[in-house]
A and B are shown apart, each in its own frame.
Chain A
């Protein structure tokens, strides 16, 4: 008898947590709209860009697969204290990113992050990539391919690398390793027009996995 009660109670608890999470996500969506976040970010997939001009007209990165791309702890923190990710201003080659992104209070950030983490893409297979300081991945990233020419990354005690791509410093806590691989393998699903070259087809799948695992170790 006691155990049946416990089971019932357990089910009740589980059910309320699920609905509570959904309620927070719905809250988050309202806050997202109220704060005008959608004036720079779209949140309904699939990708809308049909030309370079469409990409250049955007005022901020697309967020329709945010739940597949980011780690929720990072997202919650960043929304409260947004540090520069792209060294240059969005879609600019001549102006610096001034780091003046909108910021949210702690409880709003939790709710918005819950909403954004609910936006996922079926293209991202879970559990494929484990962070690993892969010698092959390292070789490709630093020597064989031009990755470091466009991306900042942690290079022993300093930061090296180019400026046109998002900084990969801290990618280990910011990005979902499985998304990194999905993006390298099938980038046009997420970004039909991007100034990063496509490497799928030039590098083997195992090489793409090795680079993804290597990037996922960046602190």
Chain B
């Protein structure tokens, strides 16, 4: 009997855990689908598009010092309007017609997790 209860409890715990990861996969899935082609699956700025002919290295999101110079609004704006809107390379695309604001906000928090850093206020 105790065994059975244990098994059921374990089952419930696993259920909850996997629900948690489904939620987290939202941000991760967006990042891997849209951003990793240039920024790399781990956000290190080394995606498969970065070959010799790629003129400007994509931002390394694990570079804490660089990322702390940006506010969350800076990050959001550059995602929506692309590199040139922030005097950066045109190789950083504008995503405003592709992603919803909500998706962009999700990506901003995901990037903050990658850099393990605080936003510039």
Contacts and interface: CB of A to CB of B under 8 A. Distances in A.
Contact of B98 (A53, A88, A93, A197): A197
Interface in A45-59: 52-53, 55-56
A201 interface: yes
A200 interface: yes
A3 interface: no
B96 A202 contact: yes
B6 interface: no
Given A93-B47, A149-B38, A163-B49, A144 B90 contact: yes
B91 A146 contact: yes
Interface in B15-74: 29-30, 32-34, 36-38, 41, 47-51, 53-54
A198 B98 contact: yes
Interface SS majority for chain B: loop
Given A52-B29, A197-B98, A143 B34 contact: no
Q: Among A52, A143, A200, find the residue whose CB has the most chain B CB atoms closer than 10 A.
A: A52
A207 to B, nearest CB: 14
B90 A150 contact: no
A162 B98 contact: no
A143 B90 contact: yes
Interface in B69-121: 82-83, 90-98
A56 B34 CA distance: 12
Interface residues of B, number: 27
B44 to A, nearest CB: 13
B35 to A, nearest CB: 9
A149 B97 contact: no
Contacts of B36: 93
A200 B53 contact: no
A123 interface: no
Contacts of A148: 53
Contacts of B34: 195, 197
A198 B96 CA distance: 8
Contacts of A198: 97-98
B90 A162 contact: no
A112 B83 CA distance: 44
Contacts of A143: 90
19 contacts: A52-B29, A52-B33, A93-B47, A93-B48, A146-B83, A146-B92, A148-B53, A149-B49, A149-B54, A150-B37, A155-B53, A160-B53, A161-B51, A162-B38, A162-B50, A164-B37, A197-B34, A198-B98, A201-B97
Interface of B: 29-30, 32-34, 36-38, 41, 47-51, 53-54, 82-83, 90-98
Given A195-B33, A195-B37, A200-B97, 4 more contacts: A149-B91, A150-B37, A162-B37, A162-B48
